[in-house]
Amino acid sequence: MMRMLQLAAALLVVALAPAAHAQKEREVSIGLQAAITSIDPHYHNLSPNNSLLLHVFEPLVKRDANQKMVPGLAVSWKALDDLTWEFKLRKGVKFHDGTPFTADDVVATYKRAPNVPNSPSSFATFTKPIVDTKVVDPYTIVFKTSGPHVLLPSDLGSVYILPKAVAEKATTEDFNSGKAAIGTGPYKFVEYVPNQRVVLKANYGYWGGEEPWDKVTFKILTNSAARVAALLSGDVQMIETVPTSDIAQLSSDKKFALADKVSNRVIYVHLNQWNDKTVPFVTAKDGKPLDKNPFKDARVRKALSMAINRDAIAERVMEKKAVPAAQLLPDFFYGTSKKLKPPKYDPEGAKKLLAEAGYPNGFTLTIHGPNNRYINDDKVAQAIAQFYSRAGLEAKVETMPSNVYFTRATKGEFGYMVLGWGTESGEQGSSLRSLLATHDPAKGMGVTNRGRYSNPAFDKEVADALVTMDDKKREAMIQHAAETVMNDTGLIPIHYEVSTWATARGLKYTPRTDQYTLATELKPAGK
Amino acid sequence: MLAFTIRRFGQSLFVLVVMSFLVFIGVYAIGNPIELLVNPQADEIERARATAALGLDKPILEQYGTFLARGAQGDLGRSFVFNVPAIQLILDRLPATLELALAAMVIAIALGIPLGLLAGLRPHSFAGRAIMAGSILGFSLPTFWVGLVLIMFFSVHLGWLPPNGRGETVALFGVQVSFLTWDGLKHLAMPALNLALFKLSLLIRLTRASTREAVLQDYVKYARAKGLGPRRVIGVHVLKNILIPIVTVIGLELGSVIAFAIITESIFAWPGTGKLLIDSINQLDRPVIVAYLLVIVTIFIAINFVVDVLYSVLDPRVRLGAAAAH
Amino acid sequence: MGVLADDDTTPAPAAAAPVESPWRRFASEFAESRLALLGLAMLVAIIALALAAPWVSPQNPYDLAQLDVMDSKLAPGERSSTTGKPYWLGTDDQGRDMLSGIFYGIRISLFVGVTSTVIALAIGLAMGLAAAYFGGKVDAVIMRIADIQLSFPSILIALVLLAMLGQGVGKIIVALVTVQWAYYARTVRSSAMVERQKEYIEAAQVLALSRPRIVFRHLLPNCLPPLIVVATVQVAHAIQLEAALSFLGLGLPITEPSIGLLISNGFQYLLSGKYWISFYPGLALLATIVAINLVADQLRDILNPRLKK
């Protein structure tokens, strides 16, 4: 009997032993955190989609690891005048089905992009400014815009080019099945299983040169523990969004390498300034309502900003994966002001300012935030509450899933809102406009200004800047606008998220500020 | 019998409609999906367009009316997030969940009944007590905790089993199943074990309790008096009589296993419907939430119905009782 | 088990030899199992700790002013960087003392579990008795509703309800009660239906005792035994359900964590070596549930008439 058991056990071990995942030399699996919702590049303007589809499709203008614009399918572009842009296209590029790339494909693509049926978030915003398109020759195209639109090249960087035949006829389902997934990118589409995986294979004729991988498999692993476990067990060779709790262990483990970079995502606080008199969830310490909205007073806002220990949050809550923020983007981005520095932690100074503003005993407020959207979002909210209790305020915390949070925040139901913002355009001007300009959606100003902060001087600075075509002049104007609004504490910036990728040793990932996870940036170490 | 079936059918339909209405209103009460779907950098015009595209600009009752009308024709709407028919998303993933649930039930039954029998026949022996203590543990440990410990041990530490996902599948009667491939079994082992643990403990306890009761019954005494060997007494008489309530419980628990798979699917990234539901709730993908609940409840009702019929067929007391009542 | 009812309708025996009271007998039967006694002892200790939490905890983990994020994730035994006091079971990622967190967490978990069970029991009892006693249409309606609800898996109902209601102790109790009442109603009704046929009820009716009296003094006590067992187990069940819901991100607010929430918070640290954040609360939860189940097991064995031979 024992013999039998021993034999059985031995067989079991042999059978289950890791059948050395015989990875062919140039195959790699990558674990992603967020699910892709479609292979149709114009269906859903969602960061995970845009990131993954960049392997298969390409736009006219691409962005490097710091989100600076570099030539993509267009080799150069320039503004001929305030309303006209000329793009020169790349020659000798072929789509995956062999057809050559020309200006006609661009025209057809831009016709399709804003009109995909049932799109929950379309690309119309990017193509809208174009009122007229002229094909000068197969490799030169001229766009006329409705008004001066300085961000046109950047916006077009978000619209991926399809072959004319595909753009004219394909439906979203055709892309998901692979029939229409034809682009110019370094990888070709093989398979898409929704919520599970996407498989790509190398495009050997790619104009940009040879890629290090023959086959790439992206696995969707939304549960962080599952994602880390997949890396630890060798199931995948790289993961994105490493949970901060695992960073210490992975960095000391010789089998893995970490790569990180500060991102374009800032975590900040919007203070409810909808109303002069009332503000939700803010009362005197005895529970009675206050006689006016304290957040309308710049001194109160500044005090609230000074009372937050950003270094402690970056160090302890974010495990060093955060950089204290003074504005909306780290200061190597276009439009950021080097004069702005994160406020020093000063609870005594905050108490003094509050007393000056008429609140010597502080007040009670509730910090609202999401709990499943940004890295450690609920922990950041709780840490802020701790700091406020040391500055004489009484802070409660309420976090909730983002499906509830954002709806209510947009309706102005909260007083103190922890939020995040990732700047896709790579420059601070458009973000300042979206978050801090006086809320006027018809004019496209302050669309996501949930606090309803309003400063007419600032509005003018931002509006003027965004129609100034000269790059250097515009930069100075945006910097000045940033200084104006941050010195007035229009919102409270807390930190910039640092994105972390973990790879199996022997591989090296070149990290990016836009948090994209690209197989094209993953190379065997030493190459 | 026919009248019974028709009545049940009518009731079930009523349940489905009421439930779909409640969920519709409920999801509407949670939040606005547009907030989650639209790119935050989009402008107001884009938001309005997206709202109209998804039909969310109409009053909620009108949306429900449209849903009912289309639902009667079998169209349960398209997922807001994926833009494919909601019912298709669910049916694509249902085989994975059913496979996991059935595997868990098989483990639970194959281990639970013999162990429970043993514990019931020798309740005061060491083995009996050990099994009972084990079952209490299995009953009390939180599923998600056990799941992670399993992964830590078998995947990370020993490297024997893959930590997540489903293995290779082959088509069986047109449905994709993974338990017929070796790779599939390796992927199925831990999640099935994790899910089975709770039911296993339940079955052990139930079997033990029933066995203890059965052993005291007169018919067992007579069988022994007749001189039948213990194997036959237990294997034939006791087993047959305890199986009836156990089978009904198994049937009812199957539905519950499908539901509790949500947690296991989350941890092991098993591509089933439970995970789809959580994601849909997080993204307020209402068509998928409603479609999922309708499908699950239908399955439940079907299982309950089958169990009821089986019960009346198997248990002569019920049959005779029904006959006597006429 | 018509023991109690018999006492009522038969003349009391002449007070000669002292008869062991039913409670005494109950206690001695219970004590037959060492395991059950262990469970009971554990349970009493846990409840005592939960009730005394504000006085025995080194720190009030719900008071944000007492937490220091600079003390976060300290291992068991390490000292605070500001006060120098040792944290016996370490701290979590907000600087919350694990020992205090466990005491308060058990308090909330027990509170939620017991309250929801008691309320669900009360509602289920009322419904079940009504259905059994009045029969007919009342019975049909109540049982239909209960059946419909039982045909949904509890976790799904709780999930969708909580997604709609939001967070908070009251809301989670509402969700748990909604999920549980039907089970009691069904159990009570079956019991009551069986009891109703028995002779002592007929006798009571013949004696023209009033309806409420029959229901409360005769029907009810005899339906109680199975109910007690079910209720005890359901408390454990409710606590586990709350823990699972916390894991999925719904339920109690993060600044006042229950044991379930503590475990799910510490979940992400299990793979990176900071096991104590999830492990000790996990042990506490396990101990609580095991204790409850041990007691319930013995109760079931004692109260099961079919084991009395």
Task: Report chain A residues whose CB lies below 8 A from the CB of C68.
Answer: 386
Chain C from 17 to 46: CB within 8 A of any B CB: 35
What whole-number distance in Å separates Cα of residue C308 and Cα of residue B6?
43
Distance CA A262, CA A503 (A): 18
The residue with greater pLDDT, A338 or B279, is A338
pLDDT of residue C18: 54
Query: Model confidence at A509, in pLDDT bands (50, 70, 90)?
Result: very high
CB–CB of B294/B282 below 8 Å?
no
Window from A130-144, B254-268, C201-215 with minimum mean pLDDT? C201-215
Q: Note the pLDDT of residue A70.
A: 94
What's the pLDDT score for residue B318? 56
Confidence band, pLDDT 50/70/90 cuts, at residue A1: low
**A310-333: buried (b, 16+ CB within 10 Å) or exposed (e) per residue?**
bebbbbbbbbebbbbbbbbbbbeb
| pLDDT tens for each residue of A294-323 | 999 999 999 999 999 999 999 988 988 999
Please indicate if any CB of chain C lies within 8 Å of the CB of A372. Answer: yes
Q: Residue C3 has what pLDDT?
A: 40
The token duo for A406 is: 């954002």
Residue A411 has pLDDT above 70, yes or no: yes
What's the pLDDT tens digit per position in A143-182? 999 888 888 999 999 999 999 999 999 998 899 988 999 9
Q: Identify each DSSP E strand in chain C by its residue range.
A: none
Chain A: touching chains (3 or more CB pairs < 8 Å): B, C
Summarised one tens digit per residue, pLDDT across range A209-239 is 888 899 999 998 887 877 888 898 888 999 9
CA angle (C142, C148, C153) in 5-degree steps: 130
Nearest to C69 among A228, A312, A403 (CB): A312
Whether the CB-CB separation of A391 and A307 falls below 8 Å is answered with yes
A232 touches chain C (CB under 8 A): yes
- Chains B–C, number of C-beta pairs less than 8 Å apart: 104
Report the pLDDT averaged over residues A134-141: 93
For residues B180-196, give the mean pLDDT.
Answer: 87
Q: Contact C65/A378, CB-based, under 8 Å?
A: no
Cα(A209)–Cα(B55) distance, rounded to whole angstroms?
Answer: 45
> Are C150 and B255 in contact, with CB atoms under 8 Å apart?
no
Pick the residue of B156, B164, B186, B285 with the most A CBs within 10 A to test the interface with A by mutation. B164
pLDDT of residue A11: 56
The minimum CA-CA distance between C285 and chain A, rounded to whole Å, is: 21
Upper half-sphere CA count for residue A324 (Cβ side, 13 Å): 17
**Number of other residues whose CB lies within 10 A of the CB of residue A19:** 10
Three-state DSSP at A366 gives strand
**Mutate which of A13, A218, A220, A223 to test chain B, going by most B C-beta atoms within 10 A?**
A223
Residue A369 near residue A354 (C-beta atoms within 8 A) = no
- How high is the pLDDT of residue C61? 80
pLDDT surpasses 60 at A10: no
Contacts of B1 (CB under 8 A, 6+ apart): none
DSSP state of A317: I
- Res B52 pLDDT > 90: no
Asked if residues B196 and B105 have their Cβ atoms less than 8 Å apart, the reply is yes
- The answer to whether residue A477 scores a pLDDT higher than 90 is yes
| Interchain CB distance below 8 Å, C253 and A397 | yes
pLDDT at C8: 44
Q: Distance between CA atoms of B75 and A300, rounded to whole angstroms? A: 55
Q: Mind listing the pLDDT tens digit of every residue in chain C (309 residues)? A: 344 444 444 444 444 445 567 777 777 777 777 778 888 898 899 999 888 888 888 888 887 777 777 778 888 878 777 777 788 888 888 888 888 889 998 888 889 989 999 999 999 888 888 887 777 788 888 887 887 777 677 777 887 788 777 778 888 899 999 988 888 888 888 777 777 777 777 777 777 777 777 767 777 777 777 777 778 888 888 888 888 887 777 777 777 788 888 887 877 777 677 778 888 888 888 888 888 888 887 887 777 665 554
B/e letters for A358-373, b = 16+ CB within 10 Å, e = fewer, are ebeebbbbbbbbbbeb
**ipTM field:** 0.72
Q: Tell me whether strands A69-71 and A61-63 are parallel, antiparallel or unpaired.
A: antiparallel
Q: How confident is the model at residue B21 (pLDDT cuts 50, 70, 90)?
A: confident
Q: Residue C66: closest CA among chain A residues belongs to which residue?
A: A386
Give me the pLDDT at residue A147, please: 86
Gap between the Cα atoms of A189 and A169, Å rounded = 19
To the nearest whole Å, the CA of C53 is away from the closest chain B CA by 24
State the pLDDT at residue C1: 39
Name the more confident of A6 and B298.
B298
Asked if pLDDT for residue A57 goes beyond 90, the answer is yes
Is the confidence at residue B209, as pLDDT, over 90? no
pLDDT in tens, A62-80: 999 999 999 999 999 999 9
**pTM for this structure?**
0.79
* pLDDT on residue C191: 75
C247 contacts in B (CB within 8 Å)?
A: 142, 144, 263
Task: Please tell me which of A43-52, B7-16, B210-219 the model is most confident about, judged by mean pLDDT.
Answer: A43-52
Mean of all residue pLDDT scores within chain A? 89
CB-CB contact of A502 with A238 (8 Å): yes
Select from C60, C93, C161 the residue whose CB has the most chain A CBs within 10 Å, as the one to mutate to test that interface.
Answer: C93
pLDDT in tens, B111-155: 988 888 888 888 788 888 888 888 888 888 888 778 877 887 887
